[in-house]
């Protein structure tokens, strides 16, 4: 098995930065993009419930509309790919059941044999939280996918810009998310940096490791 070593890992995490200027002429290959979509799919989530949908905005006219709801941040139109991380707005028992059916299919077991898992998920997520708590829970899960995508892209030498600077309600309207039971949580523009982007060489501002990692 080919694995990267720890130096390569840290080098790539230092190489990555929240890209401000993408080169609009550089496109991610279909193979690399397929791998990044697979990375999204492989994201872990609480109880494995995956309360999300990832919208890849291929249509440039839709991207131009989204730019108007993104405070003019040019990454939305210039990056090779734009992902809108959408969260299930009101996670329900039907969603738990969809997961249970998929688990039964993939693992080759009966739906009934997963009754315990189903009850636990219904109790802790659907019945144990009010709508706001449930939405927050689902949004938290969605952000794990954002981190996964950003890091995966960096390991492939692909740039990414995680973005919260957009009007969620307008995104929901423009993409018809409400009708699908979804709401926009966060974005990632993904592609290749422009040489002129001065942020690429800006030193990283991070608190010292000893301050943020405590050994107890």
Angle of helix 131-155 versus helix 30-41 axis, rounded to 10:
140
For residue 168, give every residue at least 6 positions away whose Cβ sits within 8 Å of its Cβ, in sequence order, or none. 183, 184, 185
Q: Looking at 100, 154, 182, 186, which residue binds ligand FMN (CB under 6 A)? A: 186
Nearest to 15 by CA among 209, 145, 151: 151
Q: Which is nearer to ligand FMN, 109 or 199 (CB)?
A: 199
191 binds ligand FMN (CB under 6 A): no
Phi, psi dihedrals of residue 18, rounded to the nearest 5° = -70, 100
Q: How far is the CB of 96 from ligand FMN (least distance, A)?
A: 27
The Cα 216–Cα 213 span in angstroms is: 10
Q: How far is the CB of 129 from ligand FMN (least distance, A)?
A: 23
- Per CB under 6 A, does 204 bind ligand FMN? yes
Can residue 72 be called a binding residue for ligand FMN (CB under 6 A)? no
Look at residue 108 and give its three-state secondary structure. Answer: coil
CA distance 165 to 69: 9
Q: Is 44 in the site for ligand FMN (CB under 6 A)?
A: no
CB of 163 to ligand FMN, least distance (A): 4
Q: What is the DSSP letter of 193?
A: B
The reply to whether 18 sits near ligand FMN by the rule CB under 6 A is yes
Quick check: 51 binds ligand FMN (CB under 6 A)? Answer: no
> Nearest distance from residue 30's CB to ligand FMN, in Å?
27
Indicate which single residue of 40, 80, 162, 171 sits in contact with ligand FMN (rule: CB under 6 A): 162
Q: Which one of 56-64, 92-100, 161-169, 170-178 is the stretch in contact with ligand FMN (CB under 6 A)?
A: 161-169
| DSSP-assigned states of every residue in 119-140 | HHHIIIIIISS-HHHHHHHHHH
82 touches ligand FMN (CB under 6 A): no
């Amino acid at each position: 098995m080919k694995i990267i070593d720890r130096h390569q890992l840290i080098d790539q995490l230092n190489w990555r930065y929240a890209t401000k200027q993408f080169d609009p002429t550089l496109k991610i290959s279909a193979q690399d993009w397929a791998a990044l979509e697979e990375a999204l799919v492989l994201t872990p989530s609480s109880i494995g419930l995956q309360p999300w949908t990832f919208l890849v905005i291929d249509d440039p006219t839709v991207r131009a509309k989204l730019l108007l709801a993104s405070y003019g941040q040019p990454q939305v139109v210039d990056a090779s790919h734009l992902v809108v991380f959408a969260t299930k707005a009101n996670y329900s028992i039907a969603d738990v059941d969809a997961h249970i059916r998929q688990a039964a299919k993939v693992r080759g077991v009966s739906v009934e044999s997963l009754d315990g898992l189903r009850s636990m998920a219904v109790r802790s997520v659907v019945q144990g939280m009010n709508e706001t708590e449930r939405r927050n829970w689902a949004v938290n899960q969605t952000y794990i996918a954002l981190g996964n995508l950003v890091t995966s892209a960096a390991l492939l030498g692909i740039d990414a810009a995680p973005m919260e600077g957009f009007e969620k309600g307008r995104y929901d309207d423009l993409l018809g998310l409400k009708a699908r039971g979804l709401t926009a949580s966060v974005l990632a523009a993904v592609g290749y940096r422009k040489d002129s982007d001065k942020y690429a060489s800006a030193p990283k501002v991070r608190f010292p490791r000893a301050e943020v990692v405590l050994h107890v």
